[in-house]
Structure formats: C-alpha cells, structure tokens
Amino acid sequence: MSKSLESHWVAAKSVFRYLSGTSNYGILYIDTSHVVLASFSDSDWACNLDDRRSIIGYTFNIESEVIAWSSKMQHTVALSSCEVEYQALRAATCEAIWLRRLLNDAGEE
C-alpha cells in the first residue's frame, strides 16, 4: 500500500462491488444422519493446441452439495488419454483421502 496506483484502487472497488452484489449467495447444508461422500473426476486430453497439455478436474459432494472441487492444467504432457485419466483419478484420490480423514475427525464417518 505504500506505492499503490490508481489501478489498485480500481481493482479493490471491483472486488467490493462483487462482494456486495453476491452477499445473499450461499450454500445451505442440511443436517443428515448419514453422510455420503460422492466424487466425480474427468480430464480433457491434450486440449491446449499450443502445448498439448491436458486439463483434469474433480468435484466432491455430500448429498447434493459441492464441498470441494478442482480444475487445473497439467504440468506435463500426457502421452495417451488413459494416462491423463489416471492423473485425474490420482488427484481425486488424494483429495478423497484428505476429506475422509477430515470427516472422521469431525465424527461423521
């Protein structure tokens, strides 16, 4: 903030306008007696035409509510669609292990 520019002020005002316009948005989590964690993962093999890198993504739901998600471009080039599907599955599995441990610590499973 010691050397802030007009562009910083414009960006900050944009963030505040966004926050004030979305203050009534949210996700409602309803208490259920049994927690079911569901996961979906997918990939897009060599979708970037410039460097042929793939995009992987996953989402985790409890009931119908999304609790975690990711979508990112891979750092390496996959040689086959099978390889990139395994990379997406690996990322989703790592997140699933973390979420299971979190739910266990919360006493849900």
Q: What are the tens digits of pLDDT across the range 23-72?
A: 888 767 666 667 788 899 988 887 777 888 888 999 999 877 888 999 99
Task: Return the pLDDT at 57.
Answer: 92
Q: Is residue 80 part of a domain?
A: yes
Task: Return the pLDDT at 35.
Answer: 75
pTM higher than the cut 0.75: no
Q: Is residue 3 part of a domain?
A: no
Q: Is residue 59 part of a domain?
A: yes
Q: Is residue 2 part of a domain?
A: no
Q: Is residue 75 part of a domain?
A: yes
Q: Is residue 16 part of a domain?
A: no
Range of the domain at 87: 27-105
**Count of structural domains within the chain:** 1
Q: Is residue 34 part of a domain?
A: yes
Question: Quick one: which of 44, 29, 31, 46 has its CA closest to 107?
Answer: 31
Q: Is residue 53 part of a domain?
A: yes
Angle 103-72-7 from CA coordinates, rounded to 5°? 105
Angle 18-20-26 from CA coordinates, rounded to 5°? 85
Question: Quick one: which of 36, 32, 35, 77 has its CA closest to 55?
Answer: 77
